[in-house]
Amino acid sequence: MNNFDYAAPRSEEQLLALLSPELGHTELLAGGTDLIGLMKKMVIQPQRVVNLMEVDSLRRLGPDEEGNLWIGATVHLDELLSIPYMENYPAVVQAIRGINSMQLQAQGTIGGDICVRPRCWFFRNGHGLLAQGGKLAMEGDNRHHAILGNEGAAKFVSATRIGPALIALNAHMRIIGPTVEDEQIISVADFYRIPRHERERETILSPGQVVTHFILPPVGQATNATYEVRHGEGPDYPLAAASANLEFDGHVVRRATVVMGQVAPTPWISHEAEAALVGRPVTPETADEAGQAAVAQARPLSHNGYKMQLAKTAVKRAILRAAGLETGGF
């Protein structure tokens, strides 16, 4: 690891004053479970590391007057497993439980999960975010790479586990910087992007900006769930995942949001799956059709065709789980 400056600001103002406008100069440290590994491997080599954990406002956790739940970016994942506010957001709770490691849940933060760097062994071994314009992933071992949104150079998958759930729930996020006057609330769905070149990262966050809070709207009558297809029960990333948020008119779906994880360079909203559900009741058959629709446009690479079936299953089972119809098994 290279030498670097270290700072632990206590206020948002102090924090912003420490950030550099230059990409890669300064990195933000939350729980450090991902960042430190990337630094040790010298995949990223910041000149300054700014610890977010001492900034009080980033630890906010509770509802506002309109019933929105505010979650500060440095709230630890295991805190979210133990508070009653989360009862209405099983999609988030199930995604956190899926991490399946008390250590990672206790150390990792929600901001760190949402901003976690992509899952791609070429990137994580120093070949750049796009791994030579996508060439390494096209020609090499791409079994964990994208099956959707992979037409350009980016072939990695977005590693966030909670992102699909937050998007399905229509959550927003607060971003501050680069100056203290700059504050914006954006939809989590608008946070991610597919980078086109090595000077772009996988989110819209620019070097002088920080994510401070997530804002979950009240769920009303809607029901939500996440389903992950995992290789095993250890602390490993899912092979495919999906979150669903459903609103019903009687037994018929009035509105559906289905967001897939681990299949594309961003959490992937499947409008096809949504269209397959709206106006119909949720049954194993309609959920299966929604799963099929979700992967109809997918284009697997040479070694990840197996993900088609897993992604389809994740969508189907997230929908059934959200509708309270989970039966277990595949």
Ligand X SMILES: Cc1cc2nc3c(=O)[nH]c(=O)nc-3n(C[C@H](O)[C@H](O)[C@H](O)COP(=O)(O)OP(=O)(O)OC[C@H]3O[C@@H](n4cnc5c(N)ncnc54)[C@H](O)[C@@H]3O)c2cc1C
Among residues 7, 8, 14, 32, the one that binds ligand X under rule CB under 6 A: 32
CB 303, min distance to ligand X, A:
21
Residue 254 CA to residue 279 CA, distance in Å, equals 6
| 99 vs 290 by CB, closer to ligand X | 99
Taking phi over 0 as left and psi of -120 to 50 as alpha, with beta for the rest, 258 belongs to beta
Among residues 90, 117, 239, 264, the one that binds ligand X under rule CB under 6 A: 117
> What six digits make up the tokens of 190?
């608008």
For tokens 């670097």, the residue is: 4
| 33 vs 270 by CB, closer to ligand X | 33
CB 216, min distance to ligand X, A:
16
Tell me if 91 contacts ligand X by CB under 6 A.
Answer: no
β-strand partners of 185: 174
Over the window 226 to 265, marking each residue x when it contacts ligand X by CB under 6 A and - when it does not, the resulting string is: ---------xxx----------------------------
Output the CA–CA distances (angstroms, integers) from residue 10 to 28, 61, 96, in the order listed. 14, 18, 27
Query: Tell me, what amino acid is at 53?
Result: M
Output the CA–CA distances (angstroms, integers) from residue 153 to 32, 53, 195, in the order listed. 28, 35, 8
Residue 98 CA to residue 122 CA, distance in Å, equals 25
Tell me if 210 contacts ligand X by CB under 6 A.
Answer: yes
CB 305, min distance to ligand X, A:
23
CB 96, min distance to ligand X, A:
9
Cα torsion 261, 234, 231, 156 to 10°: value is: 40
| Residues at the site binding ligand X, with contacts judged by CB under 6 A | 27-35, 37, 52, 73, 99, 104, 107-109, 111-113, 115-117, 159, 161, 205, 210-211, 235-237
